[in-house]
């Protein structure tokens, strides 16, 4: 079953302050305020096209703190979306919000309007990192809100960041383990990127913040992918979406339009090295067997993985083989 959604952006709506890294107008490429008419236009065509498929089909509100939006405006958005949640066109509404803007009353209201999944910006398990990034909530808020969300029968999604101001790779690994303990259904991982119009832009200019490089962020995020994959948690996003306004707003940091593929390729390279070393430690020719979807990730961006293996004494081909799992690599001699 595929998971598809119509993404609607409410940039910074409901946010009590601006987190140091965030500029939703660049991230989403949207500046105008979303209206009920916009919702109608965006979802009606998609709903008709998708009607009756087996896919999970959602209307998604992203880019702000949905449950902290002025109540009348929030209800206007939900009332516009709700008629489409009829099981035929759409199966539910997905929202993203802040961990300190969830309580039993709002959960009951969301349920009434067909919201089925709630994503929280958890970002870090460290209160000092959260404070330095002007998040305005604590790590305990994430724990409490996650429990509320699950108790009220919503699908829980958690979002985390890497390379935040004041954080370390160890913090990020610990954040991932804390997230696993909360048992979300989905996770999104966003490496911190310096965008125009953010406080992080100033911190970078004064040398108080040093963004991660791609070379630092990729192995770290590959480790995070392994943690979540090993725990059966679906990572539904890794890295900022390309398009929108990210390219225009980008100043520094680990942004790449194919960031996820680069991380997947890193895992495949590591697994291939291990499998080759176990099978032919002296080097030689081999065929690497992976899943159908894993062929391009095993091969690597611009065939980089195969070039690296060749430089290490292994001349490899890659082919899809049945019965394998994601990230599994076996060697055929
Ligand atoms: S990260 Fe979330 S809470 Fe912070 S400013 Fe951006 S949308 Fe608002």
Q: Measured from the CB, is residue 92 less than 6 Å from ligand 1?
A: no
In the reported structure, the alpha carbon of residue 295 is separated from the centroid of ligand 1 by a whole-number distance in angstroms of: 37
Looking at the domain 263-332, which fold is it? hypothetical protein PF0899 fold (3.30.2320)
Residues of the chain with pLDDT under 70: 1, 47
Q: Which residues pair with 235 in a beta bridge?
A: 187
- Please choose, from the candidates 203, 142, 135, the residue with its C-alpha nearest in 3D space to the C-alpha of residue 175: 142
Provide the pLDDT for residue 242: 82
Q: Measured from the CB, is residue 12 less than 6 Å from ligand 1?
A: yes
Distance from the Cα of residue 18 to its chain's centroid: 20
Provide the pLDDT for residue 37: 95
CATH class of 3-256: alpha beta
Side-chain-side CA neighbours of 277 within 13 Å: the count stands at: 8
Same fold, 3-256 and 263-332: no
Provide the pLDDT for residue 44: 87
Q: Measured from the CB, is residue 18 less than 6 Å from ligand 1?
A: yes
In the reported structure, the alpha carbon of residue 170 is separated from the centroid of ligand 1 by a whole-number distance in angstroms of: 24
Q: Where are the domains of the chain?
A: 3-256, 263-332
Q: Ligand 1: which of 65, 120, 122, 161 to mutate, judged by most atoms within 8 Å of the beta carbon? A: 65
Provide the pLDDT for residue 269: 98
Q: Would you say 120 and 99 are in contact if contact means Cβ atoms under 8 Å apart?
A: yes
Q: Measured from the CB, is residue 121 less than 6 Å from ligand 1?
A: yes
Task: Count CB-CB contacts under 10 A for residue 223.
Answer: 17
* Ligand 1 atom closest to Cα of residue 134: 4
Query: What are 265-283's pLDDT values in tens digits?
Result: 999 999 999 999 999 999 9
């Amino acid at each position: 079953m595929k998971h598809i959604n119509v993404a609607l952006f409410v940039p910074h709506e409901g946010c009590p302050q601006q987190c140091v890294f965030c500029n939703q107008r660049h991230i989403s490429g949207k500046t105008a305020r979303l209206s009920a008419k916009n919702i109608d236009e965006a979802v009606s065509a998609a709903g008709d096209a998708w009607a009756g498929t087996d896919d999970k089909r959602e209307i998604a509100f992203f880019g702000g703190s949905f449950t902290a939006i002025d109540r009348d405006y929030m209800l206007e958005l939900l009332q516009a979306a709700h008629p489409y949640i009829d099981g035929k066109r759409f199966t539910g509404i997905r929202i993203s919000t802040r961990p300190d803007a969830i309580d039993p009353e709002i959960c009951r209201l969301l349920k009434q309007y067909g919201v089925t999944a709630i994503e929280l910006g958890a970002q870090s398990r460290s209160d000092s990192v959260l404070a330095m990034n002007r998040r305005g909530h604590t790590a305990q808020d994430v724990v409490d809100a996650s429990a509320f969300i699950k108790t009220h029968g919503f699908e829980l999604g958690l979002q985390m960041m890497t390379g935040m101001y004041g954080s370390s790779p160890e913090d990020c690994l610990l954040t991932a383990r804390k997230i696993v303990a909360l048992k979300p259904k989905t996770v999104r991982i966003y490496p911190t990127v310096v965008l125009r119009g953010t406080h992080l832009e100033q911190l970078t200019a004064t040398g108080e913040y040093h963004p991660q490089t791609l070379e630092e962020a990729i192995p770290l995020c590959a480790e995070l992918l392994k943690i979540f994959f090993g725990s059966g948690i679906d990572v539904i996003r890794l890295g900022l979406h390309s398009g929108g306004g990210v390219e225009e707003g980008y100043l520094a940091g680990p942004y790449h339009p194919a960031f996820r593929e680069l991380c997947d390729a890193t895992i495949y390279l590591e697994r291939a090295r291990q499998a080759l070393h176990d099978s032919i430690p002296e080097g030689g020719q081999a065929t690497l067997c992976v899943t159908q979807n894993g062929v391009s990730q095993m091969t690597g961006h611009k065939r980089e993985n195969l070039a690296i293996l060749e430089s290490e004494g292994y001349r490899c081909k890659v082919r899809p083989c049945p019965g394998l799992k994601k990230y599994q690599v076996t060697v055929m001699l």
